[in-house]
Amino acid sequence: MIEAPRSTGDDLLVLHTLRCIGFAALERVADVAGLQASEAESALIDLAVAGLVTHEPGDFGGWSLTGAGRAADAERIRDELDAAGARAAVTRSYEDFLVLNPELLDLCTAWQMRSADGFATPNDHTDPAYDARVMDRFADFHRRAEPVCDDLAAALPRFGRYRVRLARALTRAVSGAPQYLADDMESYHTVWFQLHEDLLVTLGIPRF
Amino acid sequence: MDWIRPLSERTGESADVLGGKGHGLLTLRRLGLPVPPGFVITTAACRAFLREGRLPEGLKAELAAAVSRLEAVTGRRLGGPGRPLAVSVRSGGGVSMPGMMNTVLNVGLTTGATAGLAAETGDERFALDSRRRLLSGFASAVPGSRPEVSDDATRQLEMAVGAVFSSWDTPRARTYRELHGIAHDLGTAVVVQAMVYGNRDGRSGSGVAFGRDPNTGENVPFGEVLFGRQGEDVVSGGSATRPLAELAQREPAVWAGLLEALDRIEGHYRDACHVEFTFEAGRLWLLQVRPGGLAGRAAVRVAVDLAEQGLIGRHEALLRILPHHLRHARTPRIEASGTLDLLTRGLGACPGVATGRVATTADRAARMAAAGPVVLVRPQTSPLDMHGLAAAAGVLTASGGPGSHAAVVARSMGKPAVVGASDLTVDAAAARVRAGGRTLPEGAFVTIDGTGGEVVAGSPRVVTAPADPHLHRLLEWADEVCGGGPGRDDAERLTAARAVLLKD
């Protein structure tokens, strides 16, 4: 019999967060994982002792996975998926994601580049009407992305964090910080990109 | 005949009705150029389909009649028996929406017709490859589902037409139209043509050919060709293409036909043009034509050259160049010269030139950047590459298009980027890259040009607009029109001349 989906433990959550975002400082790991900094740090130290993550000191320092950490994450995240009996549901959501993905990339491109008489030129953001139109399409896109995030969260609760982060990026963007569409480390595009990576890792699909 | 027009010289309607693709094919026909026989289903039929949710009244009967005529012209039968007719079913609206809509090739290749094609050609592999492309065409035309492909050829054609009509209304296409201010109620035309097979044999293939180099505007043919493949493989960027000029040796008749066609087409449109083409067993066919579409310095050079050739007047040259072309023209570019050590070419995704040492992983890029500029070279990028992208002076990827994650991220950071360099392989484990038949170790110097997509070994000279003789010439003409005057920049000189000309 299949158990009800459970929350992912802090250790795996932190390990997997690092797997999906790459090199990052403690604050960012904690924010992405949805943990207190102290909780994330405690998990990182445990993982470091086990040889799964490593820390580079200095102003631009941060945490990243070791080779062993990458292998351990692949195994544990696969086991979690199978233990929850969620492979079929996550696969379906991944297919839904793939339908949406090109459109999100179109939107990011439209935010950064404008087509003037058929030629792409950088969007210099001097046309508020155009920018508002793109923003509006992002909001419309998000309404269609939400059900996919909800399905994923129902299959595996840890995916719920993406809905929170995507919604937060959009809210920031429409409230005067448009860099949260495509030009920030916590932008809609970056979070979406990480969700893509997460789905590939979770389902064991190689990117290259 | 309400919904369908023959692809013949006598059809004289506008691109609003026939779509840009259909309209261009009629122009090619009138120029006496080789276009596979076929017909166009009008945008009105698409609008009716979208309104009613099914093929409009009478379209099926018209389709059957049009197919009969096509069978008579080609001496083939849709679905067989005997020599089978297969058709391509392609979208084409009045306004271009690149990559948004669907195409289904090899329609009519039922299991029986596939066997017929194998028997006719004596090449079962070719027939099965064509059938496979039909199935994958249907699968990608209806995303997220696995459509049952009918084994009845007529039904296949109706399904394909419906799938292309439906692709007008996908959420992605709607978003594209919202962003680009295109009305939702235009609909797409559908071009149905007898298949020509680029995957037929070693003397077949597909490609894209430009009458003038779209990167520089120079008056030399340019483009790419894929031997033994259908056109979708060229456009998708999934396969390594060869430079167009290789046709000159391998298929001299196709090459000569192509040059002649490009010449005639340019004379008609009085502009630089490019075509999509297929050749089957050594015979050339043109599948699409598009005039214009050049940007920046290439556009300036073409306008000036056309004026000096007498194809257009100087005033028209001035009117063709918009001030934003000059903004492009001021972007630094690698200087085109005979000594350029070109490794390969991809798609320019973020303008500008970056020179640096090759790094094949994000971690190494971040480390190496402390000692000087690096160019991050990846098969494609993932979120794990973000810190490497941040540290690099520029980014080069083997796959992906201008809307890929790598391109979006590079632009967000303002870094020159070249993506989709399909000839490039990255071996991160061995810390080396291969391109243009050569191997470069990590740490070797390369230069990328995010406008033209060039990837060059070493540190070539970089130029900006003032050295451009064509721009200089154009601006002289501008001053002749409006009297000139000191202290104005390029865009102001052009804008002043255009203002005078547009008033006349």
A165 touches chain B (CB under 8 A): no
Q: Which CATH number fits domain B205-291: 3.40.50.2300, 3.30.470.20, 3.40.1790.10, 3.40.50.9100?
A: 3.30.470.20
The CATH superfamily assigned to B4-194 is ATP-grasp fold, A domain (3.30.1490.20)
Among B20, B164, B166, B165, CA closest to B94: B20
SS3 percent helix, strand, coil of chain B, rounded to 5, is 40, 20, 35
CATH number at residue A52: 1.10.10.10
Residues of A in contact with B293 (CB under 8 A): 118
Q: Are residues A102 and A16 in the same domain?
A: no
Q: Are residues A159 and A95 in the same domain?
A: yes
Structure-token pair, residue B51 = 């309104």
Residues of B in contact with A197 (CB under 8 A): 382-384
SS3 (DSSP) at B340: coil
Residues of B in contact with A106 (CB under 8 A): 172, 175-176, 179, 403
List the single best residue of A107, A131, A200 to mutate versus B (max B Cβ within 10 A).
Answer: A107
Find the domain containing A189 and state its range: 86-203
Predicted local confidence at residue A12, as pLDDT: 96
Q: Are B254 and B284 in contact (CB under 8 A)?
A: yes
- B373 CB contacts (<8 Å, ≥6 apart)? B354, B355, B356, B357, B392, B393
**CB neighbour class for A96 (10 Å; exposed up to 12, middle 13-18, buried from 19):** middle
Total count of domains within chain A = 2
Q: Are residues A147 and A174 in the same domain?
A: yes
Distance from CA of A207 to the nearest CA of B (A): 8
Q: Are residues A78 and A90 in the same domain?
A: no
SS3 (DSSP) at A190: helix
What is the topology classification, in CATH, of domain B333-463? Answer: Glucose Oxidase; domain 1 (3.50.30)
List the single best residue of B101, B363, B389, B412 to mutate versus A (max A Cβ within 10 A).
Answer: B412
Residues of B in contact with A64 (CB under 8 A): 363
Q: Which of A36, A66, A82 is the last residue of a domain?
A: A82
**Dihedral sign of CA atoms A90, A92, A98, A101 in order:** negative
Q: Are residues A122 and A143 in the same domain?
A: yes
DSSP, res A200:
H
Residues of A in contact with B323 (CB under 8 A): none
Predicted local confidence at residue B234, as pLDDT: 64
Instruction: Report if residue A49 sits inside a domain.
Output: yes
Distance from CA of B335 to the nearest CA of A (A): 21
Instruction: Report if residue A5 sits inside a domain.
Output: no
Q: Are residues A123 and A170 in the same domain?
A: yes
Distance from CA of A116 to the nearest CA of B (A): 8
Give, for all 504 residues of chain B, the pLDDT tens digit: 599 999 988 887 888 999 999 999 999 999 999 999 999 999 999 999 999 999 999 999 999 999 999 999 999 999 988 899 999 999 998 888 877 888 899 999 999 999 999 999 999 999 999 999 999 888 887 765 666 889 999 999 999 999 999 999 999 899 989 888 899 999 999 999 999 999 999 999 999 899 998 777 899 998 888 899 887 766 555 566 778 999 999 999 999 999 999 999 999 999 999 999 999 999 999 999 999 877 777 889 999 999 999 999 999 999 999 877 777 667 888 887 778 889 998 888 888 999 999 999 988 898 898 889 999 999 988 777 877 888 899 999 998 777 777 888 888 778 899 998 988 999 988 999 999 889 999 999 999 999 889 999 999 988 875 567 898 899 999 999 988 777 788 888 999 999 999 887
Q: Are residues A164 and A104 in the same domain?
A: yes
Instruction: Report if residue A161 sits inside a domain.
Output: yes
Residues of A in contact with B327 (CB under 8 A): 121
Instruction: Report if residue A208 sits inside a domain.
Output: no
- Of the candidates A112, A140, A194, the beta carbon closest to that of B383 is on A194
Cβ–Cβ gap B143/A183 under 8 Å: no
- Of the candidates A21, A109, A118, the beta carbon closest to that of B293 is on A118
A122 touches chain B (CB under 8 A): yes
**DSSP per-residue string spanning B367-382:** HHGGGS-EEEEESS--
Predicted local confidence at residue A2, as pLDDT: 47
Q: Which of A66, A82, A98 is the last residue of a domain?
A: A82
Distance from CA of B80 to the nearest CA of A (A): 36
Phi-psi region of B233 (alpha: psi -120 to 50; beta: other; left: phi over 0): alpha
- Mean pLDDT of chain A, nearest integer: 91
Angle between helices A128-155 and A87-112 (to 10 degrees): 170
Cα separation, B465 vs B471, in Å, equals: 7
Kind of pairing between the strands at B454-457 and B333-334: unpaired
- Of the candidates A20, A112, A207, the beta carbon closest to that of B412 is on A112
Residues of B in contact with A127 (CB under 8 A): none
A192 touches chain B (CB under 8 A): no
Among B315, B362, B325, B292, CA closest to B502: B315
Distance from CA of B329 to the nearest CA of A (A): 12
Q: Between chain A and chain B, how many beta carbons pairs sit less than 8 Å apart? A: 105
List the single best residue of B411, B427, B433 to mutate versus A (max A Cβ within 10 A).
Answer: B411
Among A101, A28, A29, A173, CA closest to B405: A101
Residues A144-175: tens digit of each pLDDT: 999 999 999 999 999 999 999 999 999 999 99
Q: Are residues A47 and A126 in the same domain?
A: no
**DSSP per-residue string spanning B229-243:** --HHHHHH--S--EE
Cβ–Cβ gap B386/A22 under 8 Å: yes
A112 touches chain B (CB under 8 A): yes
Residue B426 to residues A193, B161, B168: CA-CA distances in angstroms?
Answer: 22, 41, 38
Q: Which of A22, A54, A82 is the last residue of a domain?
A: A82
Structure-token pair, residue B498 = 């255009």
Predicted local confidence at residue A98, as pLDDT: 92
Q: Are residues A91 and A69 in the same domain?
A: no
- B370 CB contacts (<8 Å, ≥6 apart)? none
Q: Are residues A152 and A110 in the same domain?
A: yes
Cβ–Cβ gap A140/B175 under 8 Å: yes
- B10 CB contacts (<8 Å, ≥6 apart)? none
Among B60, B65, B61, B107, CA closest to B84: B107
Helices (H) and strands (E) in chain B, counts: 18, 25
Domain definitions of chain B by residue range: 4-194, 205-291, 296-329+467-503, 333-463
Cβ–Cβ gap A117/B180 under 8 Å: no
Cβ–Cβ gap B405/A193 under 8 Å: yes
Residues of B in contact with A120 (CB under 8 A): 295, 402
Contacts with B, A 134-163, CB within 8 Å: 134, 136-137, 140-141, 144
Helices (H) and strands (E) in chain A, counts: 9, 4
Q: Are residues A53 and A78 in the same domain?
A: yes
Distance from CA of A140 to the nearest CA of B (A): 9
**CB neighbour class for B335 (10 Å; exposed up to 12, middle 13-18, buried from 19):** middle
Q: Are residues A66 and A126 in the same domain?
A: no
Predicted local confidence at residue B307, as pLDDT: 97
Cβ–Cβ gap A133/B144 under 8 Å: no
pLDDT at A6 over 80: no
Among B88, B90, B138, B134, CA closest to B114: B134
